[in-house]
Chains A and B, each alone.
Chain A
Amino acid sequence: MSFLEKMMLIDRRWIYLSIGLAVIIPVVVQFEVPVSVSPEVKKIYDFVENLNAGDYLFIAVDYDPSSMAELNPMAEAVLNQAFAKDLKVIIVTLAQFGPGMVEDLTTRLAAAHHRVRGEDYVFLGYRPYPAITIMLMGINFRVPFPVDHYSVPLDSMPMMRDIRNFADVKAVIDFTAGNTADFWITYGVGRFDFPLAIGITGVMAADYYQYLQSGQIFGIIPGVKGAAEYEQLVGFPGKGKEQMAYQVIAHSVIIAFILISNIAYFATRKQKQQLGGGR
């Protein structure tokens, strides 16, 4: 059996080992990857950048620990920008284990920017059934969340005094790994018509570009690549750029394997044809 024939029937564990090594290498040998910024990411950055201090931004942190590696860097970059610009931030989570994510983000970033809970930002909390929660928030944030995550009544917070629903925020930015983006588009934008941008995992990206074209969302931050781009725009070096190094190596390995697979496929097919057997 020739080498190429062996490659056709390669034990998948060799592939797994190569991918494993590919993600370990950047840990040992650290390097920075240059990123080119795509327009759909730039649009979100520009939108936030053009807001005035004191404007309201609504952020939905709709992911669980399982996808935090991919989504935390972009949420962090956007929150950093919002806090630095002195925007008022309203945060909600529609993911079961989202509150942990939000608390981690807000405690770290608010401290870094000296922002105060209840004055500069508010965390509404978590409610199950995302579609229903979004529709109820469209009536008034106080319907699903009369009190925030820490049981403080919204009416007692100075920053929430004149804020009723999505009509009072400049935009909603949703970070999600599941189908909550669909709910935000259908039940949020569809019913209440606010500017919406989404930050999603790389796998989901292809699915949501169509909403960009139809105008239902105004921007997309796709996966770690998008996060790295956003970090570059904000000028805040975070996990996104770090993870790009892993992505580059891992993708190169996968592309290499696809090339090998095809070379082996054609070579073995030729051999078989010469021998007059097979197809």
Chain B
Amino acid sequence: MNAPTDLRARPMAADVDAVVGSLRRDFAERAVTTSAVREQHGHGEGLADAGVPDVVVFPHTNEEVAGIVRLCHAARVPVIAFGVGTSLEGHVAALYGGVCIDLSQMNRTLEVNAEDLDCRVQAGVTREQVNADLKGTGLFFPIDPGANATIGGMASTRASGTNAVRYGTMRENVLGLTVVTADGRIVKTGGRARKSSAGYDLTRLFVGSEGTLGIITEIQLRLYGIPEAISAAVCQFSDLKSAVDSVITAMQLGLPVARIELLDALQMQACISYSKLEGFEAKPTLLFEFHGTEAGVREQAETMQSIAQDQGGSAFQWATQPEDRSRLWKARHNAYYAALALAPGRHAFSTDACVPISRLTDCLLETRADLDAVGLLAPIVGHVGDGNFHVLVLYDPASVEERAKAEGIAHRVSMRAIAMGGTCTGEHGIGVHKLDALVAEHGEAVELMRTIKRAFDPLNIMNPGKTVPL
């Protein structure tokens, strides 16, 4: 596990050429070097910093992925895994060129074990596809980050989403993995047993490692029974504090609400006009979803309603029909596009802080004041049940000054959360944008992460420059 003497991130051109030639021979039309495809694979969503890979390969099997990695390992050429490119923190940018492994054609659900409440999928299966493949089993996979991301990408970034408050994040819902290591070997971690105290928890180490320790090719997922009853409700408040305080009270009581989403007044205004929502005002708003038995859902909703009323919340507006619910959640999922429509021509990027629920009101109010002082349009949405919120900062991409202001906001949001005992990323990950915040958050522990990176990837070929750069 000695550190190599030369960790050059940029490979030699001749080595890259040799790898590309070899991949084109082996993969024929599944190794693509056209500039359109390479550029499309050089960035996710979010801030527009890109790095273009030298070749994009579309493997179909674990063995093919292992073969590609072995080739890159021998030539010391970077390897970047790619799902569908919905990452927000620049995870897929090929900062030093290299080989992009697009896993979207590894898109089969391999097994569904209804009695064990689990299934095994290839990394390129998307969140929506998992649930389509589970149709008729009475089961579902709850993690929902909004975007129709791949399960491999969600595992790599430890994604969560709107119902993490009830079902946890990818951390709690990945039972095992198949991973291709930096030297091109295939390793199976974890398994189907619900608990194991044998060996270190490599599964959770790979979950959230953003492709820097290995490439996830298969995932064993935990599943849940589709609840007997689901209902959704909307409640509006005169100010942000009352809305957030309601959430804190509900969490303190341990009310098992499946989703609690906050939209601030500006975001609500954006959603009303973008998604043509009727009967709502541009006020701080909470969206709730309750899962359980008929009686349980009714009981939860009544408790939530009385908590909200104590804080001056409006009467609940119900969405019990599936169509009404999906319209409401579609409006929430389109919050990003709704925000963009507030100021056509501007770009947006999202912050991702998460704080202990007891500090959420303070953090949101300080952040709102900061945003108002800077003067950029910046709506706030939040998975507030778990203390995670996003500021969508709108800026003019042509203005250096505005981009600097926007980045300043993002930096301060991260640092504010860390100072309150929280984290700079609840679900989007570190990528290339939060390297400094990671150090502020974890201090000494980052050095340990770096040593682990060196042990797992001594040649520094796995997504170099991201998360924990060497």
Specify whether A and B are partners: no
Q: Which residues of B contact A (CB under 8 A)?
A: none
Q: Which residues of A contact B (CB under 8 A)?
A: none
